Structure 1
Amino acid sequence: MRQLIIRSSEPNAMFSQLQSCLKGELKEAWGERVFTFDNELGKGTIRTLPFSWGISLLDFDITLTDETKIIFDTQELSPIEFIFISKGFLKYNDNPIVDYTNFEKFQNIIISPARNAQKTFLFPKNENLKVNFIQIIRDEYLKKENNNISYLNDLLVSLFNDTNGDVGYQHRGSFSLRIADEIKQLNNVHDSGILRTLSLEGRLYLILSLQLLEHHNFEEKMNIPEAISKEEITRIHKLTEYILEHISENISINILSSESGLSPKKLQVGFKILYSKTVNEYIRQLKLEISRDYLKNTDLSVSEIVYAIGIKSRSYFSKIFFEAYEILPTEYRKQLKNKNVST
């Protein structure tokens, strides 16, 4: 395991130390600082962009060759950080005597360690990680006229007003495709100059507002269709077992909704978050994978396989099999037999 020590919580200083540790090549334009690295430590890009009133963006798109611990060894007060992972996962700890916390893909996360806590991130080995940090330096933001902090819930109001860092805070909220979509748009801005800066700043504030809204809804226990909780994610995981056990049947989204107790819309959101597929796309892919296994490891005819995976039409099965694997089921089995004969 590698270990990188960062001795500042100030965004620009922290970025410079990360660049030094990872040996990256720095480019600067329109207020953005981006460094790219491709060496024995890994490869990827890290970007920072500061805005007014203590708000800044820090994002990573990196793959490291070894599990890497990044430790913030500083007495400075850490900014409040709004974190969102678009790909991969991350582990976090601010107390060496307790286990790491898992930060998951598409989960809304807010952290603010106490001043003397040792903030530590554990980056995975050989895993492409895409993660955004929106950082807010409290005492600078509080100087902003019409900062409207008082309109937040009591928990966040106390967090923003804790300029001494007396109390640590961590929020692991719901999973949100809406925030994921906005992050994707943020990373696809291709303008230059003032248009780029304004576009990035506008999208950053929109993402921040969505993360604050999710926190509010989470604390108020509000059921929002486009967000999904950890408990609902667990139910969807269990639902995949049900699908596998009933693969020979006609499985509709209404049946799955009844089985899980989740609305059809929640199911679609959950499957998109977990598997990047709609419910029907997931079921179809599973049926095709099982059919391929039958073709390879059994003597069942194609018609028997079609029946076993719950597809009514052999011609439809052949069509979707070809779309997925660019070969017809009968040709796939022939290819396997010829390969076995030649060996």
Structure 2
Amino acid sequence: MKELTIHSSKSDDIFTQLQTCIQGELREDWGESVLTFNNNYGKGTLRTIGFNWGVSLIDCDIFLNKEIRIVFDTQDLAPIEFIFITQGYFEYSENNTDSFTRLEQFQNTIISHKSDAKKTFLFPKNEHLRINFIRINRKEYLQKKNNNVSQLNQLLVSLFNDSKGEAAFKHGGSFSLRIADEIKLLNNVDATSGMLRSLSLEGRLYLILSLQLLEHKNFEENMNLPEAISKEDILKIHKLTTYILEHISDNISISTLSAESGLSPKKLQLGFKILYSKTVNEYVRQLKLEISKDYLKNSDLSVSEIVYAIGIKSRSYFSKIFFEAYDILPTDYRKHLKNKNSSLR
């Protein structure tokens, strides 16, 4: 096991100290700091981006050859950290003890440790890890106009107003594939540089943060996942989304998905409703429409060919549901895309 000690709670300082320890390459571009490494420690990429009002993002896509313990030993006021793991797991301890809490894939987690306590992250070896940390410096964030912190539940209001870091906070909440999907979009923002990229990243980040806050609210109000949906069921549903994408041109029925996943139709419907706020059919239809938009924008396929490619039998039905979703017909949408001055580009 390798142990690293970090003496700052600021994201940029953390990256500088990590670079010194693991001997990776640190570069900065358009307000983003990116640390890449491929050595005895393992390989991967870590990225941090700072935004206004004390909000920052750290995301990790790493594979470690050895177990790494990172100890944060600082007297700074700890940030509030909204953590979400889309692949793998890691463990957390507030006081650098051997008593760790395992943070699971797809689980919404919020933590903040006391100013006089050491925070420890234990990352496993031989595990592909994809982890997002949204970090909020509470003092800076409270200076933000219309921060609306007072509208949160009492637990989070107290946390944001704990200006001395006198209390520890840990929330291990429900599992959410909706948040996982939004993080995937965050990590695939296609604007290459400059203002467009910064605005896209910031918008996605705040959407993810709002979903994490909403999950906490629902959890505290006992609106979390029912016992009928287990973690294993969630993983099966997550795998189904890949199956749906790969078979988008087929007639995808609930019975087909039930056979593919081993979940009953009732459990499938319950799982999609909880995790995506949609029925199975609503989810499949939305995905077909999103793919059709991409075809209209980036291919020369005719509308009839697109209808066939996404597995819808009737062109008139496709036009109907496309209009219901986007308030424009597919043919008109493509015409607008060809106009460089159109706001729909």
Q: Which residue does the alignment assign to 1:282?
A: none
Q: Which residue does the alignment assign to 2:9?
A: 9
**In the aligned structure 1, how far is the partner of 2:190 from the partner of 2:52?**
22
Q: CA RMSD for the aligned pairs?
A: 2.7
The TM-score normalised by the length of structure 1 is 0.69
Q: Which residue does the alignment assign to 1:166?
A: 166
Q: Which residue does the alignment assign to 1:104?
A: 104
- 1:1-343 mapped onto 2 (5 Å cutoff): 1-97=1-97, 99-191=99-191, 192-223=193-224, 228=225, 232-233=229-230, 236=233, 263-267=267-271
Aligned-pair identity in percent equals: 56
**In the alignment, residue 265 of structure 1 is paired with which amino acid?**
Q
8 Å CA contact 2:94–2:120 kept in 1: the answer is: yes
Runs of at least 5 residues in structure 2 that lack an aligned partner in the other structure: 237-254, 277-345
Q: Which residue does the alignment assign to 2:301?
A: none
Distance 1:236 1:31, change over 3 A: closer
What is the deviation of 1:128? 1.0
**In the aligned structure 2, how far is the partner of 1:38 from the partner of 1:116?**
34
What is the deviation of 1:88? 0.6
Q: Which residue does the alignment assign to 1:313?
A: none
**In the aligned structure 2, how far is the partner of 1:100 from the partner of 1:15?**
24
Q: Secondary structure at the match of 1:182?
A: helix
What is the deviation of 1:172? 0.5
What is the deviation of 1:96? 3.9
Q: Which residue does the alignment assign to 2:309?
A: none
What is the deviation of 1:234? 5.7
8 Å CA contact 1:175–1:230 kept in 2: the answer is: no
The TM-score normalised by the length of structure 2 is 0.68
The total of aligned residue pairs comes to 254
8 Å CA contact 1:257–1:267 kept in 2: the answer is: no
**In the alignment, residue 204 of structure 2 is paired with which amino acid?**
R
**In the aligned structure 1, how far is the partner of 2:226 from the partner of 2:125?**
27
User: 4+ residue runs of structure 1 moved beyond 2 angstroms?
Assistant: 95-98, 228-232, 234-237, 250-258, 262-272
Distance 1:229 1:111, change over 3 A: farther
Runs of at least 5 residues in structure 1 that lack an aligned partner in the other structure: 240-249, 273-343
**In the aligned structure 2, how far is the partner of 1:82 from the partner of 1:252?**
33
What is the deviation of 1:27? 1.7
**In the aligned structure 1, how far is the partner of 2:68 from the partner of 2:16?**
18
